[in-house]
Structure 1
């Protein structure tokens, strides 16, 4: 095939990469196809075959090189010059490029040099300890906010470093899996301390040079933990810190290169603007997550992102689009194998029904919403978090839509009082207030509505 005189746009490379990945091809195969078809250099083709920007690739190389004074330093402008042939990398940097792209100098279009590219060295075992700048986890309760901010900043700093052994990684991942199960029923304030402790240990292994595979696993764990921290803060109504931790989670997910994890974090981040606004942002984040999962095998993340977009669209008043996405989410879910019931990153049937309940409640289709509420409530275990309460509050909203004002307010009050106090977070309060907001006409001034409003205005710990 004859190369064009002008390189094609990045979107062309993106399409080729998607087609080859969908067909089960490798990054090297994608790079060859991109270089041949798009008229770019082999070095640039290898970056585009990974779906990375200049900034992302340069950051990845700096991570791989480590922080030693003698380590090659790669910046986006330098990488761009090498890709266009304006300048040539020095020998140590060429070795780094070969390691990063797992290719020979010839495959990168950098000449037939007599270079022996070192195999990734065995991971250095680092003793657990406090990472540089990571605050002590024994902070007093009144300093938790400062600790959260310090922990996030330290996490961002150490995303560019790290090493540990495969055995230690296995232990970390086993503990994280258990924590993902505990997250489903543990109150968010209590969960924060556990998550920060675990994140501190992950960060303590992220200080030395490491192989690419170790870096990927550590950044994946960092993304998961940061997402759960952000979600806990969201439940507690700490919007600013939640937003910051979601940014850290997205950064880690991008760094890992795990597309499903990137989509999952984006879909989860859409929950913050869904509950606290603006709704446009909730729709946009969920849509971005859904698009990341397109042209791939159906996955729990794809169903989750699609259901989240449907619910946000319904609250936005986009009826036709919400119904289409809701049906698409059901179709995707029906093609999946059973999902773990005890994992915060799973998407079992009860979670799908929770989102569909929210979608049809917002659309005013009370009968259909109630069917999903009943099916979901039957699937929740005895020990669980706030989801059943949210479903009962959705039922109360349906009653309000159906002009059963007193019954709606009484159900909302009973739901709020029955929930253990540590789980009575601002999200639950906001959904209970929504019952009053949707009451038609003078119903918002009835005795039942007044009592619900007074209940929600009581300070925490007074009931």
Structure 2
């Protein structure tokens, strides 16, 4: 109970600062220690359903709210993991731990805590490896690759995504499709244009052949909307603006209520395409409006990184560029 109270207190104080960092680190280290032991069983059905529930994403909740719930349950999961278990039960619990730790890492990444996200992906990777599920391990690595991809290290992202693709194999699966999609974005960002185009072709081929359960609209599935969101950035980075505009339109059409994060990222891709097509003033105004319209909790992490990247690419004499820069400073 004291650990839960500490976590909730740190989160109530905000998503940045030493209190949250200490609480995150202590919770993760407890689970890492439990993963190093070989003990046994608990209510696996409950934990499996808990991971499935969180896997549906934000659903109108802010990232901070989702993180609070995940950490609350994860603290208890760490206790369960250290209890005596059969080998079979421990394997199943490691599988749940990999999923839960991976989701904590995703939310931390979205909030801009990329170093802490890397640490939690490390925990998720160890748990996935101990579970023996290569596809879960591939999913963790593909998700982890998004951290360096979105925070300025595309070559490192390409290497992580390449490892994920190797683990997932060539058989169509949600993990394999995600790994190929992230690879296409990383390769494009790193300037490996032909390899990026091949990765785009690979993921398009694979997406058409996924089984229905692999297309589930969760963090673990690869639904059509997610496919188009990934393609949007890959094609934007490649400068193929006509195809990028079309995939952005499809991404919005495929969801009646796209999340605030998804809508903002697509709009920022559209702004970048406009800049590449020569309409730099419209690009600056669209990016400014998109970022300003976001609630405060969404003006951090990925959306800020994407908007800053566009700001840096715009020539200094672009009308509206100064306003975009001021907006990024004042609403951060």
Normalised by the length of structure 1, the TM-score is 0.66
Distance 1:194 1:458 in 2: 30
Specify the alignment match of 2:84 in structure 1.
Answer: 209
Q: Give the superposition deviation at 1:446.
A: 3.3
1:401 aligned to 2:276?
A: yes
Q: Structure 1 residues 234 and 446 mapped into 2: Cα distance closer, same or farther (>3 Å)? A: same
Whether contact under 8 Å (2:228, 2:248) holds in the other structure is yes
Q: Give the superposition deviation at 1:393.
A: 0.4
CA shift digits 1:237-284 (9 cap, x unpaired): 222211111111111111111110010001001011101132111000
Distance 2:245 2:175 in 1: 25
Specify the alignment match of 1:152 in structure 2.
Answer: 28
1:444 aligned to 2:311?
A: no
Whether contact under 8 Å (1:185, 1:383) holds in the other structure is no
Q: Give the superposition deviation at 1:420.
A: 2.4
Q: 1:331 is matched with which residue: 186, 205, 212? A: 205
Q: Give the superposition deviation at 1:434.
A: 1.8
Distance 1:188 1:207 in 2: 28
Specify the alignment match of 2:222 in structure 1.
Answer: 347
Q: Structure 1 residues 445 and 190 mapped into 2: Cα distance closer, same or farther (>3 Å)? A: farther
Specify the alignment match of 1:304 in structure 2.
Answer: 178
Specify the alignment match of 2:16 in structure 1.
Answer: none
Q: Count the aligned residue pairs.
A: 321
Name the SS for the 1:317 alignment partner: coil
CA RMSD between the two structures = 1.7
Whether contact under 8 Å (1:357, 1:370) holds in the other structure is yes
Q: Structure 1 residues 317 and 184 mapped into 2: Cα distance closer, same or farther (>3 Å)? A: farther
Q: 1:163 is matched with which residue: 18, 40, 45? A: 40
Q: Give the superposition deviation at 1:381.
A: 3.5
CA shift digits 1:336-385 (9 cap, x unpaired): 12345541211101111111111111111111111111111111232624
1:53-68 → structure 2 map (5 Å cutoff): none
1:223 aligned to 2:90?
A: no
Whether contact under 8 Å (2:102, 2:120) holds in the other structure is yes
Q: Give the superposition deviation at 1:185.
A: 4.2
Q: Structure 1 residues 445 and 358 mapped into 2: Cα distance closer, same or farther (>3 Å)? A: same
Specify the alignment match of 1:58 in structure 2.
Answer: none
Name the SS for the 1:237 alignment partner: coil
Runs of 4+ residues over 4 Å off in structure 1: none
Whether contact under 8 Å (1:184, 1:344) holds in the other structure is no
Whether contact under 8 Å (2:215, 2:224) holds in the other structure is no
Q: 1:319 is matched with which residue: 175, 186, 193? A: 193
Structure 2 unaligned blocks of 5 or more: 14-18
Distance 1:383 1:360 in 2: 20
1:416-431 → structure 2 map (5 Å cutoff): 416-431=291-306
1:284 aligned to 2:165?
A: no
Whether contact under 8 Å (1:184, 1:343) holds in the other structure is no
Larger Cα-atom Rg? 1
Distance 1:340 1:331 in 2: 14
Whether contact under 8 Å (2:292, 2:331) holds in the other structure is no
Q: 1:269 is matched with which residue: 132, 144, 158? A: 144
Name the SS for the 2:221 alignment partner: coil
1:245 aligned to 2:120?
A: yes
1:127-146 → structure 2 map (5 Å cutoff): 136-139=3-6, 140-141=9-10, 142=13, 143-146=19-22
Name the SS for the 1:328 alignment partner: helix
Tell me which protein shows more helix as a share of its residues: 2
Between the two structures, name the one with larger relative contact order (CA 8 Å, sep ≥ 6). 2
Q: Give the superposition deviation at 1:216.
A: 1.2
Q: Structure 1 residues 221 and 276 mapped into 2: Cα distance closer, same or farther (>3 Å)? A: same
Distance 1:257 1:184 in 2: 30
Whether contact under 8 Å (1:416, 1:432) holds in the other structure is yes
Specify the alignment match of 1:368 in structure 2.
Answer: 243
Distance 1:184 1:438 in 2: 33
Q: Structure 1 residues 287 and 348 mapped into 2: Cα distance closer, same or farther (>3 Å)? A: same
